[in-house]
Structure 1
Amino acid sequence: MNHADVISNRPTAAARPSLLVKAQPGGRVIVDVTPQSAGWAHVGFRALRLGAGETEALATGARELCVTVLSGQVDVLVGSERYTALGNRQSVFEDQSPYAVYVPPGREVRIDARGSAEVALSTAPARGRLPARVIEPGQMRRSVRGEGANTRYVCDILPDSEPAEALLVVEVITPSGHASSYPPHKHDSAGDAETALEETYYHQLNPSQGFAFQRVYTDDRSLDEAMAVEHRDTVLVPRGYHPCAAPYGYDLYYLNTMAGPERRWAFKNDPAHEWMLAR
Structure 2
Amino acid sequence: MPNLKVKPNGTNGRVTHVTPENAGWTYVGFDLHRLKPGETAAGETGDREVCLVWVSGKGKAKAGTKDFGTLGERMSPFEGSPHALYIPMESTWSVTAETDLELAVCSAPGGGTYEAKAIPPGTHPALARGKGTNVRYVNNIMPEDDSSAHSLLVVEVITPGGHTSSYPPHKHDQDDLPNESFLEETYYHRLNPPQGFGFQRVYTDDRSLDEVMVLEDGDVTLVPKGYHPCAACHGYDLYYLNVMAGPKRIWKFHNAREHEWLLKA
TM class, shorter-length = over 0.9
Match of 1:170 in 2: 155
Match of 1:227 in 2: 213
Q: CA deviation at 1:239?
A: 0.4
Deviations 1:40-90 (A, max 9, x none): 000000011010010112100100000001111011111221111100100
8 Å Cα contact 1:64/1:128 also seen in 2: no
Q: CA deviation at 1:141?
A: 2.1
Match of 1:136 in 2: 120
Matches within 5 A, 1:25-40: 25-40=10-25
Match of 1:278 in 2: 264
Q: CA deviation at 1:27?
A: 2.4
**1:184 aligned to which of 166, 169, 176:** 169
In structure 1, the residue corresponding to 2:185 is in which secondary structure? strand
Correspondence 1:250 to 2:255:
no
In structure 2, the residue corresponding to 1:68 is in which secondary structure? strand
Matches within 5 A, 1:107-122: 107-122=91-106
TM-score by length of 1: 0.93
**1:269 aligned to which of 232, 255, 260:** 255
8 Å Cα contact 1:141/1:157 also seen in 2: no
* Gaps in structure 1 of 5+ consecutive residues: 1-15
Match of 2:44 in 1: 59
Match of 1:12 in 2: none
Match of 2:226 in 1: 240
Match of 1:151 in 2: 135
CA RMSD, 1 decimal: 0.8
In structure 1, the residue corresponding to 2:258 is in which secondary structure? coil
Q: CA deviation at 1:29?
A: 1.6
Correspondence 1:83 to 2:68:
yes
Q: CA deviation at 1:30?
A: 2.2
1:103 partner letter: I
Match of 2:86 in 1: 102
2:78 partner letter: F
In structure 2, the residue corresponding to 1:272 is in which secondary structure? helix
Q: Distance in 2 between matches of 1:235 and 1:123?
A: 16
Q: CA deviation at 1:200?
A: 0.1
8 Å Cα contact 1:97/1:140 also seen in 2: no
Q: Distance in 2 between matches of 1:40 and 1:17?
A: 10
Q: Distance in 1 between matches of 2:14 and 2:144?
A: 28
8 Å Cα contact 1:106/1:128 also seen in 2: no
Deviations 1:83-116 (A, max 9, x none): 111001000001x211100000011111111111
Q: Distance in 2 between matches of 1:187 and 1:141?
A: 24
Moved over 3 A (4+): none
Deviations 1:179-214 (A, max 9, x none): 000000000111202100000000000000111100
TM-score by length of 2: 0.98
8 Å Cα contact 1:51/1:113 also seen in 2: yes
8 Å Cα contact 1:144/1:154 also seen in 2: yes
Q: CA deviation at 1:126?
A: 1.1
Match of 1:45 in 2: 30
In structure 2, the residue corresponding to 1:222 is in which secondary structure? coil
Q: Distance in 2 between matches of 1:25 and 1:93?
A: 22
Q: CA deviation at 1:136?
A: 1.0
In structure 1, the residue corresponding to 2:53 is in which secondary structure? strand
Match of 2:188 in 1: 202
How many residue pairs are counted as aligned between the two chains? 263
Q: CA deviation at 1:128?
A: 4.2
Q: Distance in 1 between matches of 2:87 and 2:163?
A: 35
